[in-house]
Chains A and B, each alone.
Chain A
Amino acid sequence: MVAIFVALVAWYVISIAVQSKPAFSTLGFSWIVGKVWAPNQGKYGLLPFILGTIETTAIALVLAIPIGLGTAVALAHLVPDRMRPPLSTAVELLAAVPSVVYGLWGLVVLAPVFREHVEPFLSSALGWTGLFNGPDNGVGLLLAGVILFIMVLPTMVAISRDVLAVVPKEQVEGAMALGATRWQVLRKVVIPGARTGILGGFTLAMGRALGETVAVALVIGNSPFIAHSIKAPAATLASLIVNNFGEASGTELSALFGAGLVLLLIGIAVNAMARVLVHSTARAGGASSVAVA
């Protein structure tokens, strides 16, 4: 049985690699970093989509890291004991809401709000940075990043809360007995003790953001050009695949498989890293690293 599972996984990785081989043999390796995606001219550059994937994930993480950490700290150590179980269950249930539902909400509800209010405000307040040039579309990199932020938040909070809660009570009480304030206890004892696990949770959330397909495809605007503004429409590797799969054939189909291969390899690397981080905290019980910190 385990052999079947291992064989399936091997078949999965190898078949995608084999199917993308025609793209590598006709286009050479440089096509991966080509700037132009124009199937009718035989150009299949993936750079715009790799950048789009990195940019949306970066926006999501910039929002999710402080807010996710703050929420996890509040859930693990600030919320009254009675409220903790229902709030924690609610967070876990939110992680189960299908991503396409977030996409629908983002496109129908949030996109008009972004077009009418959020983007004009950001352009006038932060226009000098040059990040907010161009028209207010609603859909684009910014909205995709924000939707990803909302989607990865439950995952991140659930894991961070778990590792924050296993910090030994003796250490917390010891710090309190020394006269540390509540924030000093959190900042110097609780968070350092859970550091590796929190990092693992963030990495796991990053993996989810990198590979998310349908929610992003609905709200990113799907433009095959490199975006020059945070408000501009763009595309990610995953949204490229899902939008062009229906009509693709020949080299284009193989190039899409190649995009899938790039996504798969990134996904494996990020998830492997996350697992190592989360496991090392679980094994150490979150205690051993406190002494060093």
Chain B
Amino acid sequence: MTTLSFDASSDPILVRRERIQSVAAASLGRRKIYSKIAVGVCWAFLVVAIIPLVAVIVYVVIKGLPAWSTDFFTHPTYPEGIPGGGVWNAIVGTAEIGFIGTAVAVPLGLLCGLFLAESDGRAAAAVRFTADVMTGVPSITIGIFGYIAIVKNFGYSGLAGAFSIGIIMLPVIIRAGETAIRGVPGHLNEAALALGARRATIARKVVVPAAMPGIITGVLLAVARGLGETAPLLLTIFGNQYMQWNPTKPMNALPLVIFENSSQPYADLVQIAWGAALLLMVVVLILSVGSRVLAAVLQKERR
């Protein structure tokens, strides 16, 4: 056995390692304290962030629940001083506007999403980018568009509101639809092609059913977002304190009731606003949670 003649103390790499180790050891205490402080600050910020968000929800529940009564759900809005006012007209308005907007935006949005999922060119990228930007443009400007396009020609109406809400939902549905369809495994597509199916048939019978969980989630989230929008409705449906079933006439809607009543000096009108806020929040949360649950159930069924 031969011994290597090797002088450890003169190897520059080992010397350097020694030096680094001693510096690291010397600064360890300081670094640990810094780390504790910084991590503590992150935790504190988490708490700071949660407090107001929880406070909003707790307040809406506490102040909104007492407003819920049979009158609240069955009577239209009454002016100040007349007891027994409700939000029935606003519920009908929100439901009709949401339904019409969804009925138009969903087929259009899903077909656009299908097209985007099947194409990779520059034009498709530009459309994709446009849809992304459209999800973030100020909603009031979409209300202005609804005013210019519909109200200027036909007057204030529930349909003008549905038009604006539909445009707000459209880009969300397009992108959600595209993402869901892109997630469908390629071999399903190829198997159908190998069986001699046409592309339209494949889209209808293979791709869309497989993408259904994602599509449903996306659509429900878009509806949840559309129902809560206030600014576009202020410029398009005008508000109406009476019962109105006809969507070609000015209507009322839940967000509008909240907006109008919250700045009123009368306690009973503010009470109605809290009740409407709770109702709107419950509907939106049911849609958001429901979309997740439904997607999970559908996903499980497919396996």
Residues of A within 8 A of B (CB): 1-2, 4-6, 8-9, 11-12, 15-16, 19, 66-71, 73-75, 78-79, 89, 92-94, 96-105, 107-109, 150, 153-154, 157, 179, 181-184, 186-187, 204, 207-208, 210-214, 217-218, 238, 241-242, 245, 256-257, 260, 263-264, 267-268, 270-272, 274-275
Q: For A268, what are the chain B residues with a Cβ–Cβ distance below 8 Å? A: 133, 137
Q: What are 24 contact pairs spanning A and B, CB under 8 A?
A: A12-B141, A12-B142, A15-B148, A16-B145, A19-B144, A70-B44, A74-B45, A75-B46, A78-B39, A79-B46, A96-B221, A96-B284, A98-B229, A98-B255, A98-B284, A99-B228, A101-B280, A107-B263, A183-B34, A187-B38, A242-B235, A245-B147, A271-B132, A275-B129
Rounded to whole angstroms, the CA-CA distance of A272 and B35 in the bound complex is: 36
With contacts A2-B116, A263-B138, A267-B137 taken as known, whether A101 is within 8 angstroms of B259 at the C-beta atoms is no
B229 touches A1 (CB 8 A): no
Q: How many residues of B contact A (CB 8 A)?
A: 78
Most buried by A among B56, B134, B147: B56
Nearest CB in chain B: distance from A82 CB, A: 16
A-side contacts of B285, CB under 8 Å: 93, 96
Expressed in whole angstroms, the minimum distance between the Cβ of A201 and any Cβ of chain B is: 12
Shortest A287–chain B CB gap in Å is 22
Does B184 sit at the interface, judged by CB under 8 A?
Answer: no
A16 to B139 Cα, complex, angstroms: 13
* Contact yes or no, B39 A183, CB < 8 A: yes
List of B residues within 8 angstroms of A75 by Cβ: 46
* Chain A neighbourhood of B44, CB < 8 A: 70
Beta-carbon contact of B280 and A271 below 8 Å: no
Least distance between A125 CB and chain B CB atoms (Å): 19
B148 with A67: CB separation less than 8 A:
no
- B39/A182 in contact, CB under 8 A: yes
CB-CB contacts below 8 Å: B156-183 with A = 167, 170, 174
Q: What are the nearest 10 A-B pairs in CB distance? A: A211-B138, A98-B228, A70-B45, A183-B35, A213-B231, A181-B35, A271-B136, A1-B111, A183-B38, A74-B46
Say which residue of A6, A12, A99, A207 sits within 8 Å of B167 (CB atoms). Answer: A12
Q: Which residue among B39, B144, B167, B225 has the maximum number of chain A CB atoms within 10 Å of its CB?
A: B144
Which residues in A have their C-beta under 8 angstroms from that of B292? 89
Q: B230 on the interface (CB 8 Å rule)? A: yes
A11 and B149 in contact (CB under 8 A), knowing A97-B56, A213-B138?
yes
Q: Which residue of B lies closest to A73 (CB)?
A: B42
Q: Which residues of B contact A154 (CB under 8 A)?
A: 53
Task: Indicate if B8 sits at the interface (CB-CB under 8 A).
Answer: no
B270 adjacent to chain A (CB < 8 Å): yes
Bound Cα distance from A103 to B139, whole angstroms: 16
Residue pair B34, A181 in contact (C-beta under 8 Å): yes
A241–B139 Cα gap in the complex (Å)?
12
Tell me whether A214 and B231 are in contact (CB under 8 A): yes
Q: In angstroms, how far is the closest chain B Cβ from the Cβ of A88?
A: 12
Contact assessment for A100 and B127 in the assembled complex, using a CB-CB cutoff below 8 Å: no
CB distance from B208 to the nearest CB of A (A): 14
Chain B at the A interface: SS class: helix
B138 contacts across to A, CB distance below 8 A: 210-213, 238, 263-264, 267
Let me know if B24 and A179 touch, CB within 8 A: yes
Chain A residues near B258 (CB, 8 Å)?
100-101, 103-104
Supposing A218-B262, A245-B234 touch, asked if A105 and B56 sit within 8 A by C-beta, the answer is yes
Query: Given A70-B42, A97-B284, A264-B137, A16–B49 Cβ distance below 8 Å?
Result: no
Residues on B with C-beta less than 8 A from A67 are 45, 48-49
- Using a CB–CB cutoff of 8 Å, the interface residues on chain B facing chain A are 24, 28, 31-32, 34-35, 38-39, 41-46, 48-49, 52-53, 55-57, 59-60, 63, 108, 111-112, 115-116, 127, 129-142, 144-145, 147-149, 167, 170, 174, 221, 224-225, 227-231, 234-235, 255, 258-259, 262-263, 270, 273-274, 277, 280-281, 284-285, 288-289, 292
- Separation in Å of the A242 CB from the closest CB of chain B? 6
Q: Are B133 and A271 in contact (CB under 8 A)?
A: yes
What is the bound-complex CA distance between A274 and B285, given in angstroms? 27
Chain B positions within 8 Å of A263 at CB level: 138, 140-141
When distances are taken between beta carbons in the complex, the residues of chain B under 8 Å from A78 are: 39, 42-43
Distance in angstroms between the alpha carbons of A122 and B57 in the assembled complex: 27
Residues of B within 8 A of A73 (CB): 42
Contacts of B262 in A (CB 8 A): 100, 103-104, 107-108, 218
Task: Pick the contact of B136: A5, A157, A204, A256 (CB < 8 A).
Answer: A204
Measured between alpha carbons, how far is A25 from B181 in the docked complex, in Å?
Answer: 48
Question: When the two chains form their complex, are residues A99 and B53 in contact, meaning their CB atoms are under 8 A apart?
Answer: no
Separation in Å of the B174 CB from the closest CB of chain A?
7
Question: Nearest-CB distance from A160 to chain B (Å)?
Answer: 12
User: What residue of chain A has the Cβ atom nearest to residue B170's Cβ?
Assistant: A5
